[in-house]
């Protein structure tokens, strides 16, 4: 029986759109599942709803701005400095980040992206199941 790619971590592919400091997350690609890609987003208008959005060096204002232009189903991950104060972490989460990661260690960051993608896919299938005629 062939493997259903949709059941794997994150499905067949995903795009991680990085807004901000790409050099802070440069090693992330090697920790992502096969088929996943990363791209630099030059500005918030270039972010797409179907992407996993990674705000590197995130600020409260950036998270709020991203949330204002993206659908709620879009995963927004904020990466802040390792020594970031708690009020910044709380601020980006309150502004709408789904996850806030201090320091952005690639393996930890990849784990959050994969888990977020799984939650997105689970929500997608649950919505389809609820829409199915009974």
Tens-binned pLDDT, residue by residue, of the chain (134 aa): 343 444 444 455 899 999 998 888 989 999 999 999 999 999 988 988 889 999 999 999 999 999 999 998 899 999 999 999 999 999 999 999 999 999 989 999 999 999 999 888 776 445 545 555 66
The pLDDT value given to residue 122 = 78
Give the residue from 55, 90, 50 showing the smallest Cα distance to 70: 50
71/23 Cα distance (integer angstroms): 27
Instruction: Tell me if 95 sits within 8 A of 60, measured CB to CB.
Output: yes
Please give the pLDDT value at position 131.
57
- Domain annotation for the chain: domains and CATH numbers: 11-127 (3.40.50.2300)
pLDDT of residue 12: 57
What DSSP element (H or E) covers 93? Answer: helix 86-95
At what angle are helices 60-69 and 86-95 packed, to 10 degrees?
Answer: 10
Q: Which two tokens stand for residue 86?
A: 């708690």
Q: Residue 133 has what pLDDT? A: 64
Q: What is the pLDDT of residue 11?
A: 52
Q: What is the pTM of this model?
A: 0.81
Q: Which residues pair with 80 in a beta bridge?
A: 102
Residue 83 per-residue DSSP state: T
């Amino acid at each position: 029986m062939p493997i259903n790619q949709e059941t794997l971590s994150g499905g067949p592919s995903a795009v991680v759109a990085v807004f901000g400091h790409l050099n802070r997350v440069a090693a992330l690609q090697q920790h992502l599942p096969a088929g996943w890609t990363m791209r630099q987003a030059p500005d918030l208008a270039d972010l797409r709803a179907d992407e996993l959005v990674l705000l590197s060096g995130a600020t409260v204002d950036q998270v709020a701005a991203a949330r204002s232009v993206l659908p709620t189903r879009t995963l927004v991950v904020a990466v802040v400095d390792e020594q970031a104060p708690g009020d910044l972490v709380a601020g980006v989460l309150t502004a709408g980040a789904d996850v806030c990661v201090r320091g952005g260690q690639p393996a930890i960051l990849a784990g959050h992206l994969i888990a977020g993608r799984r939650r997105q896919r689970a929500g997608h299938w649950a919505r389809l199941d609820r829409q199915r005629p009974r």
